């Protein structure tokens, strides 16, 4: 099996495990705080669902413009990125 096939399989397994976990979470749990009290359980689960949506774009940028991540990290403080990340997720 090629590395690409292994990655594809791993992504499928991860997606299936996420959906199985999501099915076990009662609706009333979504508004409860997670281990990070700044985020509810629902916000964490939603945030986790965003990553695959951006993966294709992220990979294209990493492959075609690898320098962009370094420039972004140098220009945007981690605290600003974290705040924006939390705001957009909510």
- Reported as a single tens digit per residue, the pLDDT across 13-58 is 999 999 999 999 999 999 999 988 788 999 989 888 887 888 888 8
Give 62's contacts (C-beta < 8 A, 6+ positions apart): 69
Share of the chain above pLDDT 70, in %: 98
User: What's residue 23's pLDDT?
Assistant: 95
pLDDT (mean) for 57-65: 88
Q: Is the pTM of this model over 0.85?
A: no
Q: Which residue has the tokens 């705040």?
A: 83
At how many degrees (to 10) do helices 67-75 and 41-64 cross? Answer: 130
User: What's residue 59's pLDDT?
Assistant: 86
């Amino acid at each position: 099996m090629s590395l690409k096939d292994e990655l594809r399989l791993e992504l499928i397994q991860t997606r299936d495990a996420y959906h199985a976990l999501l099915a076990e979470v009662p609706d009333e749990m979504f508004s409860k705080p997670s281990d990070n009290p700044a985020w509810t359980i629902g916000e964490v689960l939603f945030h986790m669902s965003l990553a695959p949506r951006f993966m294709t774009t992220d990979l294209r940028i990493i492959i075609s413009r690898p320098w962009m991540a370094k420039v972004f990290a140098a220009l945007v403080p981690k605290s600003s990125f974290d705040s924006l990340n939390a705001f957009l997720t909510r």
